[in-house]
Chain A
Amino acid sequence: MNVGRFRRAKSIALIVLATLVSLALLAAAFIASGLYNVAASESHFAVTTKLLAVTLRRSVETHSLSVEGMPSDDDLVPLGANHFAAACAPCHGSPAARRNPVVLNMLPAPPPLGEVASRWSPEQLFWIVRHGFKYTGMPAWPGEGRDDEVWALVAFLQRLPDIGEAQYRDLTGAAGIADRTEGPMPAFADPGANLARSCARCHGAEGAPPVSRRVPALHGQSAAYLERALREYRDGTRSSGFMEPVAAALASGEIEAIVEDYAGYDRIGSPAVAKDAESLERGRLIAQNGVRESGIPPCLACHSGRASKQFPVLAGLSAEYMTGQLSLWRRGLRDRSAYGAIMAVIANRLSDRQIRDVTGYLESLRDARPADAPDPGGARE
C-alpha cells in the first residue's frame, strides 16, 4: 500500500514537470519568433495595463516602507520647484506649461503631476523620485547618496496640487527663466546660452540671495574654489542630483566664465537669524581656536580666505548648507577628492552640537576673518 502511494505521487510529479517544461518551451518559441510587438505606438492590452499599474503601486508601497526621516521645512519647496522646472517639467509638464507632444508619444507617457500628492504619500514619492521606474523612462536620482536633495523635490510635489500658474512662475521665476521649461527638450540637455541664468535659478544672481538656505551663496567665493567644485561635480567625485547634470553639460570655457562671474560679485551674507548667544560663543571658540582635545583645528585657519584659494570662505554661508555638507562628509560621500579627504577627517571629529554651534557662528559672520579673531595658537594655554 505504501508502495502504491509512492507510485501515485511519482506520476503526479512527472505530469507537473512535463507541463512546466512544455510551457517554458512555448514561451521560448514565442520570444524567438519575434512575434511580440515592442512598438510604443502599440498600446498594451487593457489587462496588461491594469496588471502593470497594480504591480507598480504595490511595489512602491512595499519598498517605501523603509523610507523615513522627511525633513519638514518650507525652505525645501523653492529649491524643489526650481529643480522641477529644470528637470521634471520638460516631461511631466507644469502649472505653467502643458506636456510636449513628443513626450505624449512615449509609452507609458509621463503623467502630469498635478494630482500626484493625493495619490502617493511623501515616503512613496520619495521612493519613486529616488529610484525611478524600470521600462518607463523615469530615471533614478543621479546624485549618489543625496537623499536630502530628493526630499526637496518631494516637498515641492506635495505642494504642487495647490500651486497655480502665477505662484509657480513666482517660485521658479527668480531669474526669469521659468518659460524655458516649455521648450521641447529637457533644459539640462541644452548646453546653450543662459548658463549664468541657469545657475542663478538656485544660487541667486548678482545681489540676490540663493532660493533656499540649503543652497550656498557663491558670490565672492574664489574662482579657483568654484571651478574645482564644478569639476568635481563633473567628474563625479562630488555627488549631487542637482549639480552633476548641470556640471556634466558644461564645457571647460563655460566653467571659467561662470566662476569668474560669481567670484566677481559682492558677497552676500545670510539673512540674520536670531541665535543663542552661548551657542554663538561656543561656535566662535571652535572656529577661531579649534578644539584641541578632539583634534579639531580652527575652521578659520583655512576658511577665512587668507589660506589657499582652493578653500571656500565660510563666513556668511547658511548654517543649513554647511550642516548638510558636513553630514555628507560624515556619511563618507565627500572624501573622494584630495581636498575632500582633508575635511572628511575633521568632519568626523565634530559632534552634532559642535556642528550646530560652529555653523551658526560662521553664518553670523560678516567678514571672512573677524577682526577680533585670535590666531589658532590661542588654543595653547
Chain B
Amino acid sequence: MTRSPVRPHLVLAVAGIALAGCEGVQSALYASGVEAREIRLLFWVATGVCAAVLLLVMVIGTLALAGSTRVRAWLAREQLVIALGLILPVVVLSGLLTYALLVLQAGAARNASATDSSVTIVGKRWWWEVVYRDADGRSVVSANELRLPLGRPVSLRLVSDDVIHSFWAPNIAGKLDMIPGRVNRLTIQSDKLGVSRGQCAEYCGGPHALMAFHVVTLPDAEYQAWLAREASTARVPTTAAQRRGAALFIESGCGACHSIRGTEARGTIGPDLTHVGSRVSIGAATLPADAASFARWITDNQHIKPENLMPPFRHLAPEDLDALAAYLASLD
C-alpha cells in the first residue's frame, strides 16, 4: 500500500496514542495551543493565589481553635473580619479579575483580527462535520477530525444542525458552544505537531459521551498537501476485495447517507467517507480507523455507540463484510 508523504507523522502520533495510553492527549494541562497555554498560566497563577488563601484560612482557623488566649483574643475582633474578610478579598480578587480580563481581551482581539473563517465545524448528533475551504474557495467536507497547520491561526465557524453541542479541544483552546440558529467563532493556533483529542462538552442526549474527535497538527506544507488530497476524489479500489467492497457499498444502500466523492454515493446524512481510511478514528473517535473496526462498526454500531443514528447492517456475509471493510480502510 502506497503512503502519501503526510502519513508518517500521523502514523507515529496514532501509534503513540495506542501504545502509551498517552495521558494528556485530552487535557487542559498539556497545552499545545496558544490559547490553552495562556489559560494554563492563568490557571496556575490563580490556583496558587487560592491555595495561599486556603492556607491562610486554615492557619487562622487553627489558631482560633487552639491558639493561646492572647492570640485568640486578638483574632476575636470585628477588625479582623473586615481586614481578612473584606479588604483582603477585594485586593486579591481585583488582581485576579484584572489579569483574567486582560487575557480575555487578548483572545478577543486575536479573534477579531482573524478575518477568514477557513473551517466550519457542524455539531451533529453525535459526530462532527468539518468543512475546510481550500485555496480556491472550494469546500472540502470531512468529519470527526480537525487538521491544523502548525503555528498558523485558524478561525473556526461553529454551528449546530440539531441540539446544542460544545466544541472542546482542551490541549488547543477552551470550549465554545454550537447553538442552533447561531454562528460562533473560535480562533485557535496549534504550536505543537501531533495528535490530541477533544470531545463534546455540552450534554446533547444519547451517546453524548461518545462524541469526540481528534486534532492533528501538521507542518504547514504537509497540511497544504493533505488538504489538496482531501479535496480530491476517493482512491479507486485496487484489489479484488476492495472492488467487491466498493460494489457492496453502493449495493447495500450506504450511499443513501454517506458520500464517497468520485462514486455514486452522495448521501449527506452521515459523515463523508471519501478519505475515511486516512483518519485517526471512526465513529467520532470511538474506534481506530482500521479494517477490523469498520467491520465491527457496520454490524455492531448500536452496541459500540448506543442510540447513534446509523442502522446496524447485520445481513452481510462475513466475506462481504471483510470486503466492505477493506474498501473503506483503503480510502486514504
Contacts and interface: CB of A to CB of B under 8 A. Distances in A.
A137 interface: no
Interface residues of B, number: 23
A376 B315 contact: no
Interface in A328-360: 337-339, 341-346
A344 B269 CA distance: 17
B269 A295 contact: yes
B248 to A, nearest CB: 8
A312 interface: no
B250 A380 contact: no
Contacts of A342: 253, 311-313, 315
Contacts of B63: none
A339 B315 contact: yes
A345 B268 contact: no
Contacts of B253: 297, 301-302, 307-308, 311, 342
A377 interface: yes
B72 interface: no
B128 to A, nearest CB: 16
B264 interface: yes
B313 A375 contact: no
A375 B268 contact: no
Contacts of B312: 338, 341-342
A377 B267 contact: yes
B313 A338 contact: yes
A301 B258 CA distance: 11
A376 B311 contact: no
Contact of A295 (B252, B264, B309): B309
A290 B315 contact: no
Contacts of B313: 338, 342
A308 B247 CA distance: 10
A339 B265 CA distance: 20
B266 interface: yes
A297 B257 contact: yes
A346 B252 CA distance: 15
A296 B269 CA distance: 8
A339 B312 CA distance: 9
A310 B256 contact: no
A343 B252 CA distance: 12
A337 B267 CA distance: 24
Given A298-B256, A341-B314, A376 B309 contact: no
Contacts of A337: 315
A292 B268 contact: yes
15 contacts: A290-B269, A295-B257, A296-B269, A297-B253, A297-B269, A307-B251, A308-B251, A338-B314, A339-B315, A341-B311, A341-B314, A345-B309, A375-B264, A377-B266, A377-B267
Interface of B: 161-162, 250-253, 255-257, 259, 264-269, 309-315
**Can you list the 7 inter-chain pairs with the closest CB atoms, starting with the nearest?**
A377-B266, A297-B256, A301-B256, A338-B315, A302-B253, A345-B311, A338-B314
Interface of A: 290, 292-293, 295-298, 301-302, 307-308, 310-311, 337-339, 341-346, 375-377, 379-380
Given A297-B257, A375-B264, 4 more contacts: A297-B267, A308-B252, A344-B311, A376-B256
